[in-house]
Amino acid sequence: MASGNAIRGSRVGAGPMGEAERGESAPRLRISFWCSNGHETQPSFASDAQVPDTWDCPRCGFPAGQDPDNPPDPPRTEPYKTHLAYVRERRSDADGEAILAEALAKLRGEI
């Protein structure tokens, strides 16, 4: 039994999408990029666009270059540093002892 709704199951904008409806597509270039893991990526660019030197690999996230024999090095990731690690970079142990002694003296009411 039909419900009488002629557009049931379709969505707004549904219909044939051809060149006649969209117009001519811009000329494209497919450029190959390789990452240090050997993955090849081929993004397409407009023929008059400036092609970047590096492109992020969609598989591993490393930077990829256009030379398959000499891909860019992967980024060097710094390990996570705690607040204490940053403080230790700025202050020596002697400085820390002096600051601690001053804070303890304030707490005891000596200053």
pLDDT band at 96 (very low <50, low <70, confident <90, very high): confident
Whether residues 32 and 58 share a domain: the answer is yes
- On whether residue 93 sits in a domain, the answer given is yes
- On whether residue 69 sits in a domain, the answer given is no
- On whether residue 1 sits in a domain, the answer given is no
Predicted local confidence at residue 110, as pLDDT: 75
- On whether residue 11 sits in a domain, the answer given is no
- On whether residue 96 sits in a domain, the answer given is yes
Whether residues 80 and 58 share a domain: the answer is no
Secondary structure (H, E, C), the chain = CCCCCCCCCCCCCCCCCCHHHHCCCCCEEECCEEECCCCEECCEEECCCCCCCEEECCCCCCEEECCCCCCCCCCCCCCCCCHHHHHHHHCCHHHHHHHHHHHHHHHHCCC
- On whether residue 16 sits in a domain, the answer given is no
**What whole-number percentage of the chain has pLDDT above 70?**
78
- On whether residue 94 sits in a domain, the answer given is yes
39 is in an annotated binding site: yes
Which structural domain range is residue 93 located in?
76-110
47-66 confidence digits (pLDDT tens): 999 999 999 999 999 999 99
pLDDT band at 11 (very low <50, low <70, confident <90, very high): low
- Whether 91 has a pLDDT exceeding 70, the answer reads yes
35 is in an annotated binding site: yes
CATH number at residue 59: 2.20.28
- Whether 17 has a pLDDT exceeding 60, the answer reads no
Predicted local confidence at residue 75, as pLDDT: 86
What are the distances in angstroms from CA 35 to CA 45, 50, 51, 66?
19, 20, 16, 9
If one counts the domains in the chain, the total is 2
